[in-house]
Amino acid sequence: METLTDLDRLGDQIAELSAHLDAATAQLLDLIREFDARSGWNTGFRSCAAWLSWRIGLDLGAARERVRVARALGTLPRLAHALARGELSYAKVRALTRVATPDTEERLLAVGKAGTAEHVERIVRGWRQVDRQAEARQTARRHAGRALHVYQDEDGMVIIRGRLAPEVGAVVMKALDAARETLYQRSRETAGDTVIEDVPAETPTMAQQQADALALVAETALHHGIDPGVPGDRYQVVVHVDAPVLADTDAPGQSILEDGTHVPAETCRRLACDASRVVMRHDAHGHVVEVGARTRTIPPALRRALDHRDRGCRFPGCGLPSGQGHHVRHWANGGPTTLSNLALLCRRHHRAVHEEGYRVDRQPDGALRFRRPDGELLPAVPPPATVPVDPVEVLRARHDAQGLRVHARTSMPGWLGERLDVGWAIDVLHPLAAG
């Protein structure tokens, strides 16, 4: 039969090792913060969290939380030091970094040292409630301050001035932008149909354009019965590229946007992977002699099959659910638009494969193989890191060499068993609680 002393000793070993692991976690977070700051993850990955998920096997949500805590500790030295000494658990620090600022860090550190993990979570929830209430009060004040004044001046002109909530103002500015664009297009069409003999009128100032745009917005709203309708695509990007350029990026020829802006040939190849295309033939003098019908590079039925098969971006460590169809062998080089020659890539990684030097090919067994610009293979699952035979002893020896003395009571809270009064604690701790 086990004695109480034996069980106490086992419990002390658990507490001591947990404190060692928390101290090691602090070192890990330091490395993650530096790696993130230096963009070490920017080797084809969308974020530091995506790289962590791929490299060390973390769930993406857990990886995002590690990056968040690592960044937060960069401005919270007291919490970072307590974690590095094994005095606070990672769970407590993770909770405290959701609300701590350099001004409130010291008092929250005291909460972490005095209370259990449950106490800390309850304090943080109460703290965030006060934050939300303060934010709600600020929002309410801004909302109450909204106003629009419309009145007529002595000469009959109507004057409009007002204050709008940020999100409402953003909608209004977008509507004015769209209206100005519409008016600009109309003026171009009118000018194209009119023989101008006199000197053209001066271009309206921005203020005048805004006034005209507001009138169009009002007319359109009244015409449609104040129904916002369904938003659609406002813009379509048109790229003119010579066929030889698509087949060989080093070939001479044009590769330009509608306004004449040059676009890299590899960008054109990326856009052409999954887009509508119109084939135009020119004579020796550059005149258009034939215009083909617009066709989709990847037909809808094939696109549905591609989405069903790949179920997200195929780039290692990504998996975003939506993406663009990529021709493993480009159709301009004779690659067929078939399911076996297609792969789904998100916008970020489609660009990486075309413009950033990454390469992808399909193996005989159907698997995709990605390579970095330097030619090194980028595996879907990286090899595991080398682990010593006795990692616990290595961890203890490392901490001993750093002068870190960790024992079974290092992370024990100062709580004596009294009931936690969250309301009183928040009133005392939170600088905005009195408001």
User: Do 131 and 150 belong together in one domain?
Assistant: no
Q: Considering the domain boundaries, does residue 408 fall inside one?
A: yes
| Residue 73 burial (10 A CB sphere; 0-12, 13-18, 19+) | buried
User: Do 413 and 362 belong together in one domain?
Assistant: no
User: Do 222 and 117 belong together in one domain?
Assistant: no
DSSP 138-183: HHHHHHHT-EEEEEE-TTS-EEEEEE--HHHHHHHHHHHHHHHHHH
User: Do 91 and 48 belong together in one domain?
Assistant: yes
Interhelix angle 77-84/105-114, nearest 10 degrees: 30
Structural domain harbouring 162:
145-190+209-226
User: Do 134 and 179 belong together in one domain?
Assistant: no
Region of 205 on the Ramachandran plot (φ > 0 left; ψ -120 to 50 alpha; else beta): beta
Query: What is the pLDDT at residue 245?
Result: 74
The torsion angles phi and psi of 241, rounded to 5 degrees, stand at -140, 135
Is residue 97 within 8 A of residue 400, CB to CB? The reply is: no
pLDDT tens string, the chain, 435 residues long: the values are: 556 688 888 888 898 899 999 999 999 999 999 999 999 998 888 899 999 999 988 898 899 999 999 999 999 999 999 999 999 999 999 999 999 999 999 999 999 999 899 999 999 999 888 887 776 777 677 778 889 998 888 877 889 999 887 767 778 888 888 888 888 777 666 655 554 444 445 678 888 888 888 888 887 777 666 544 434 333 355 777 777 777 777 677 777 766 666 777 787 778 778 777 776 766 665 666 566 666 677 888 898 999 999 989 999 988 888 788 999 998 878 888 899 999 999 888 988 898 888 999 999 888 899 999 888 998 888 887 777 888 888 888 888 888 888 888 888 888 877 788 888 888 888 887 765
| Residue 269 burial (10 A CB sphere; 0-12, 13-18, 19+) | buried
Which of residues 176, 198, 226 is at a domain's end? 226
Nearest to 253 by CA among 264, 262, 267, 241: 241
3 state SS of 398:
helix
How far apart are the C-alpha atoms of 396 and 19, rounded to whole Å? 11
Q: Considering the domain boundaries, does residue 103 fall inside one?
A: yes
Q: Considering the domain boundaries, does residue 385 fall inside one?
A: no
Q: Considering the domain boundaries, does residue 255 fall inside one?
A: yes
How far apart are the C-alpha atoms of 48 and 341, rounded to whole Å? 30
How far apart are the C-alpha atoms of 255 and 260, rounded to whole Å? 9
User: Do 291 and 257 belong together in one domain?
Assistant: yes
Other C-beta atoms closer than 10 Å to the C-beta of 189 total 10
User: Do 78 and 184 belong together in one domain?
Assistant: no
User: Do 253 and 215 belong together in one domain?
Assistant: no
With a CB cutoff of 8 Å and minimum separation 6, the contacts of 388 are 394
The torsion angles phi and psi of 250, rounded to 5 degrees, stand at -90, -5
Q: How many domains does the chain have?
A: 3
Q: For the whole model, what pTM was predicted? A: 0.65
Nearest to 354 by CA among 378, 376, 330, 334: 330
Other C-beta atoms closer than 10 Å to the C-beta of 251 total 13
Helix (H) or strand (E) holding 31, with range, is helix 4-37
**Residue 301 CA to its chain's centroid (Å):** 30
Q: Considering the domain boundaries, does residue 116 fall inside one?
A: yes
Q: Considering the domain boundaries, does residue 287 fall inside one?
A: yes
What is the DSSP secondary structure assignment for residue 383, as one 8-state letter?
P
Biggest CA pair distance of the chain = 110
Other C-beta atoms closer than 10 Å to the C-beta of 430 total 22
Q: Considering the domain boundaries, does residue 383 fall inside one?
A: no
User: Do 91 and 57 belong together in one domain?
Assistant: yes
User: Do 289 and 407 belong together in one domain?
Assistant: no
Q: Considering the domain boundaries, does residue 344 fall inside one?
A: yes
What is the DSSP secondary structure assignment for residue 372, as one 8-state letter?
-
